[in-house]
């Protein structure tokens, strides 16, 4: 096991990337605080972790609010006594043209994706510094953070901000042996297909076909593919890496410049 008895916090752990990451960490020996806005989903993920023989703590948290984040960290310390790993997986998105976008829509995306990453990183970094034994922080960005995307200006801006935040935080925390990196997933099964279907009413299979046309392997990734990279980044194998934003994609658009998305979105 790569993470025996490590203590991790994973936000957005009820579904998608976050759930896959939480389970992958557990399989490598970590005990995990499973945090998400949806209380029912975090309880399910926590139960899955316990079924793997690890300990879990389910916490309902809205990462847009500092007080809730601080409570999450306090509960983690009360149960486990320390924090070794933080994965900022909480993320939301909508689709809209800038000219039609309301201020509330912009603020919600920035609140979860950017402010939430800041609040969680700040609270956990303070504890890691106090522990004096280093630590690992991984922020989930997106390939959309590397270039513009039609109808996703707010999301792209938020994920670009996560990359910049990651790079800056890595410099600040380097003296404390705390590694800070970001992962930038491309087209991933859960997040893109389910979200696209929900937002547009388009059948997931139609969205999948459109997305596959952009990929080099004629396939789309799975949340578990992202989780494997996260496991590497929070293990000792990545001790010489910090401040990196790593693409995980076979999408040719990540290599050719600003991305576009299917017209149906």
Q: How many CA atoms lie within 13 A of 263 on its CB side?
A: 0
Given a contact cutoff of 8 angstroms between Cβ atoms, the answer to whether 49 and 35 are in contact is: no
Token pair for 141: 């960005």
Given a contact cutoff of 8 angstroms between Cβ atoms, the answer to whether 228 and 218 are in contact is: no
**Across-strand partners of 251?**
215
What does the chain look like in DSSP terms, one character per residue? --STT-EEEEETTTSHHHHHHHHHHHHTT-EEEEEES-HHHHHHHHHHHHHTT--EEEEE--TT-HHHHHHHHHHHHHHHS---EEEE---------GGG--HHHHHHHHIIIIIHHHHHHHHHHHHHHHHTS-EEEEEE--GGGGS--TT-HHHHHHHHHHHHHHHHHHHHHGGGTEEEEEEEE-SBIIIIIIHHHHHH---HHHHHHHHHTTBSSSS-B-HHHHHHHHHHHHSGGGTT--S-EEEE--BTHHHHSS----TT-
Given a contact cutoff of 8 angstroms between Cβ atoms, the answer to whether 10 and 30 are in contact is: no
- For residue 211, indicate whether it is catalytic: no
**Catalytic pick from 155, 190, 211, 214?**
155
Q: Which residue has the tokens 């910090």?
A: 242
List the catalytic residues.
155
């Amino acid at each position: 096991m790569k993470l025996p008895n490590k203590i991790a916090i994973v936000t957005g752990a009820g579904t998608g990337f976050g759930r896959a990451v939480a389970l992958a960490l557990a399989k490598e020996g970590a005990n995990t605080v499973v945090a998400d806005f949806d209380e029912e989903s975090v309880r399910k993920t926590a139960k899955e972790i316990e079924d793997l023989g690890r300990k879990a703590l389910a916490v309902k948290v809205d990462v847009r609010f500092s007080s809730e984040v601080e409570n999450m960290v306090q509960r983690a310390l009360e149960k486990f006594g320390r924090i070794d790993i933080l994965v900022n997986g909480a993320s939301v998105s909508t689709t809209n043209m800038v000219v039609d976008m309301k201020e509330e829509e912009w603020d919600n995306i920035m609140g979860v994706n950017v402010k939430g990453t800041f609040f969680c990183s700040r609270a956990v970094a303070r504890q890691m510094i106090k522990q004096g034994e280093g630590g690992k922080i991984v922020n989930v960005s997106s390939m959309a953070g590397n270039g513009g995307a039609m109808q996703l200006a707010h999301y792209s801006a938020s994920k670009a901000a996560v990359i910049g935040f990651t790079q800056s935080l890595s410099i600040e925390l380097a003296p404390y042996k705390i590694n800070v990196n970001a992962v930038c997933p491309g087209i991933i099964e859960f997040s893109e297909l389910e979200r696209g279907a929900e937002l547009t009413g388009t059948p997931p299979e139609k969205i999948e076909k459109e997305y596959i046309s952009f990929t080099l392997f004629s396939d789309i990734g799975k949340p578990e593919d992202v989780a494997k990279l996260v496991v590497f980044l929070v293990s000792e194998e990545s001790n010489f890496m910090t401040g990196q934003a790593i693409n995980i994609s076979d999408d040719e658009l990540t290599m050719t410049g600003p991305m576009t998305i299917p017209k149906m979105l």
